[in-house]
Amino acid sequence: MDRRSFLKQAGLAGAATAALATPAIAQSAPELRWRLTSSFPKSLDTLYGAADTFSKYVAAATDNKFQIQVFAAGEIVPGLQANDSVSNGTVEMSHTANYYFWGKDPTFAAACSIPFGLNTRMQAAWNYHGGGNDLLNEFFAKFNMYGLPCGNTGAQMGGWFRKEMKSAADFSGLKMRISGFAGKVLTKLGLVPQQIAGGDIYPALEKGTIDATEWVGPYDDEKLGFYKVAPYYYYPGFWEGGTVIHVMINKEKWESLPASYKSIVAAAAQAVTTDCLAKYDHVNPQAIRSLASKGMQLRAFPADFLAASFDAAKATYAEISATNADFKKAYDSMMAFRNDAYLWWQVAEFGFDNFMMTQQRAGKLS
Amino acid sequence: MDRRSFLKQAGLAGAATAALATPAIAQSAPELRWRLTSSFPKSLDTLYGAADTFSKYVAAATDNKFQIQVFAAGEIVPGLQANDSVSNGTVEMSHTANYYFWGKDPTFAAACSIPFGLNTRMQAAWNYHGGGNDLLNEFFAKFNMYGLPCGNTGAQMGGWFRKEMKSAADFSGLKMRISGFAGKVLTKLGLVPQQIAGGDIYPALEKGTIDATEWVGPYDDEKLGFYKVAPYYYYPGFWEGGTVIHVMINKEKWESLPASYKSIVAAAAQAVTTDCLAKYDHVNPQAIRSLASKGMQLRAFPADFLAASFDAAKATYAEISATNADFKKAYDSMMAFRNDAYLWWQVAEFGFDNFMMTQQRAGKLS
């Protein structure tokens, strides 16, 4: 027996011994208790609730062996530090809108939602079948994280304004509470973005410290009561055409999971992508009616504001792409899909919706 | 000790003994090999493939302990007998479009897609959060089945026509291969529905035995080559605004599953609802471009045809509802949601898409 085959045999024997020493069952279904920190408060029951649903799916699939305890924003760390605590291993998981972390790198915004990006279904198409998830995970790995889409809000609203907005010029000097990356784009139109925590928005709007705020959509917005102090409710929230919520996992922790648990987590997250969106799509129709009965004034954004914002977004993407290869890669991949996706969208999908919306306006659906 | 508490104690003791006799591990993770019969041929890789993805998710989540072998239409039973074989226990599962079974009961069509019903996202909202799944499972139980949505095609195309269609009158006497329930509705306009298996459609269309056919959408349709013999491609397929594909499970078999397996199956099916749709949304944009380069003539259905079909559908639903309580219950529940859902759809979602589609047509997305 030569030395090499001896080592080989010894190695094989060693592997067999190791396998015997650790019963297969213990390897494949360990008892785990993980913590997930949400970026959302419990009052956002659609978003906070999506993490709860995710956790329940995983627990039920593993006979409660893999338990993920969900903490609301602020219970362990503030909502906007959720990913930091995953990166450094304080918690195993977060559930978040990645654009909150655009200040670290705008590629986080591309992972979540950027102005005039993809709509909800296109976002899923790109993530699951257009290489999006793999591409983003190359980026997330630099922050010691692995990410899976786990929820979507659908197209959001443009928010609540104290005064009616007649043209793009009205947005110059406007103090608006708006999420970070969209705010950066809109500074090109003179808008003055404000960062204010959820609970502080209403008094700021009431006093006139700010002129406008965006939040999510009818169901979530109604609870905060903005319609009482800023009744003009604008659409569409073009910076959130189909906001992807992710579950972010500490990379070593993810890699330590047995294959079956990885599969369970991935399927649960993909299932929650459907479930979270389905909940929004079920509750928003009632909420918009309810808001209308309370004095909300529904308005479309002025056309010149949309056009100027579109140009501002394009200019912003060009600036970032010039210096940030990760952003450029994600952005270019999305854009390569966007044009044909919207060409096709105009045919069967819009053809169907357009007829149905026409019937709705004619009172023929009730 | 009175007789009642004696029995109670004896019962408890018996249960404890039974629990001890069967190790917990064997109960919670049994080795199972099930068969799933698909209603789709392998060539429909999006639909057939969805069952394959579902099976892989379940196997991976259970360390291959729960294996579901997927058979294409015809391998065990013909595609249109898939549910019969589940009802009678020949196989444990099917993967199917339930409207194939509308002849047994039109409520099966309501479970899948009916003309001018809900769009894809509304369908998910109604199924998962509007009580749809529970309501349909009361009905499926009468056929000894339990059903879970497991895929969606998105809005389909109206199909391929040998001649251009100018008005509703052109559809009178038209011989069209069209799925059963939609065919029933369109007979009110004089259309003559034809039932032809997938492989026989092309020659029938070529010879002029039929004047038109519908199938699915660009990706699936391109493979069958209809554009060569019937180049007018009409939209929207208003009888399939968001076709729900189900995995149907023999009821006793479903109930025999341990709780963890039920959860794994349910999450896998919900995940595949996203995954199947995402695949369609990824491949259809390329396919419509490809078809355009091959001579396809894209056309919108004439407005008077849509209007007459809408009225015909409404009349059909009234007729069926008069005699079929199950259909009425499902239909009324969907319709109660439809009006407000389409009211809301016109705001953020359409507002966003409309702007983006306008940019697409202006060549600003490429």
Q: Per-residue DSSP letters for A184-245?
A: HHHGGGT-EEE---HHHHHHHHHHTSSSEE--S-HHHHHHHTGGGT--EEEE-BTT-SSPEE
Contact assessment for residue B95 and residue B150, using Cβ atoms and an 8 Å cutoff = yes
Contact assessment for residue B360 and residue A310, using Cβ atoms and an 8 Å cutoff = no
CA quadruple A221, A227, A230, A235: dihedral sign: positive
State residue A15's pLDDT score. Answer: 38
Contact assessment for residue B151 and residue B214, using Cβ atoms and an 8 Å cutoff = no
Option in A126, A156, A284 nearest B344 (CB): A284
Q: Which helix (H) or strand (E) holds B7?
A: helix B3-21
Query: Can you tell me the distance from the alpha carbon of B301 to that of B165, in angstroms, rounded to the nearest whole number?
Result: 7
- Number of neighbours of residue B97 by Cβ within 10 angstroms: 24
Q: Are strands B212-213 and B159-161 parallel, antiparallel or unpaired?
A: antiparallel
Model confidence, pTM = 0.92
Give the pLDDT band (50/70/90) at residue B197. confident
Question: Mutating which of A54, A263, A281 best tests the B interface, going by the most B Cβ atoms within 10 A?
Answer: A281
Mean pLDDT lowest for which of A34-43, B20-29, B56-65, B261-270? B20-29
Q: Answer with the residue of higher pLDDT: A29 or B274.
A: B274
Query: Can you tell me the distance from the alpha carbon of A40 to that of B7, in angstroms, rounded to the nearest whole number?
Result: 51
Residue contact A275–B279, C-beta within 8 A: no
CA-CA distances (angstroms) from residue B258 to A62, A169, A261? 11, 63, 18
CA-CA distances (angstroms) from residue A129 to A118, B56, B117, B139, B305? 14, 17, 27, 34, 36
Q: Nearest CA to CA, how far is B277 from chain A (Å)?
A: 8
Contact assessment for residue B202 and residue B229, using Cβ atoms and an 8 Å cutoff = yes
Query: Can you tell me the distance from the alpha carbon of A222 to that of A296, in angstroms, rounded to the nearest whole number?
Result: 10
Q: Which helix (H) or strand (E) holds A140?
A: helix A132-141
In the predicted model, is pLDDT for residue A74 greater than 70? yes
Average pLDDT over residues B117-134: 98
State residue B16's pLDDT score. Answer: 37
Q: Nearest CA to CA, how far is B232 from chain A (Å)?
A: 14
Average pLDDT over residues A11-23: 38
Give the pLDDT band (50/70/90) at residue A258. very high
Q: List the end-to-end C-alpha distance of chain B, in Å, as a whole number.
A: 84
For B52, the token pair is: 């394959």
Query: Can you tell me the distance from the alpha carbon of A172 to that of A192, in angstroms, rounded to the nearest whole number?
Result: 8
Closest CA to A158 of A79, A221, A98, A225: A221
Q: Mean pLDDT across chain A, nearest whole number?
A: 93
Residue contact B360–A351, C-beta within 8 A: no
Residue contact A341–B285, C-beta within 8 A: yes
In the predicted model, is pLDDT for residue B126 greater than 60? yes
Give the pLDDT band (50/70/90) at residue B179. confident
In the predicted model, is pLDDT for residue A336 greater than 90? yes
Average pLDDT over residues B217-222: 97
Spatial CB neighbours of B365, under 8 Å, sequence gap ≥ 6: A335, A338, A339, A342, B356, B359
Of all residues in chain A, the percent with pLDDT exceeding 90 is 89
Of all residues in chain B, the percent with pLDDT exceeding 90 is 89
Closest CA to B332 of B114, B39, B57, B36: B114
At A222-235, the pLDDT tens digits run: 999 999 999 999 99
Spatial CB neighbours of A225, under 8 Å, sequence gap ≥ 6: A202
Q: Nearest CA to CA, how far is A264 from chain B (Å)?
A: 5
Sheet of A244-250, strand order: A66-71, A32-38, A93-96, A244-250, A145-152
Q: Nearest CA to CA, how far is B304 from chain A (Å)?
A: 12
Residues of chain A positioned with their CB less than 8 A from the CB of B282 = 125-126, 128-130, 337
Cis omega (within 30 of 0) on the bond before B236?
Answer: yes
State residue B97's pLDDT score. Answer: 97
At B21-68, the pLDDT tens digits run: 333 444 578 999 999 999 999 999 999 999 999 999 999 999 999 999
Average pLDDT over residues A203-216: 96
State residue A27's pLDDT score. Answer: 57
Average pLDDT over residues A88-98: 97
Q: What is the DSSP letter of A294?
A: T
State residue B27's pLDDT score. Answer: 57
Residues of chain A positioned with their CB less than 8 A from the CB of B340 = 285-286, 288-289
Q: Answer with the residue of higher pLDDT: A2 or B106.
A: B106
State residue A21's pLDDT score. Answer: 39
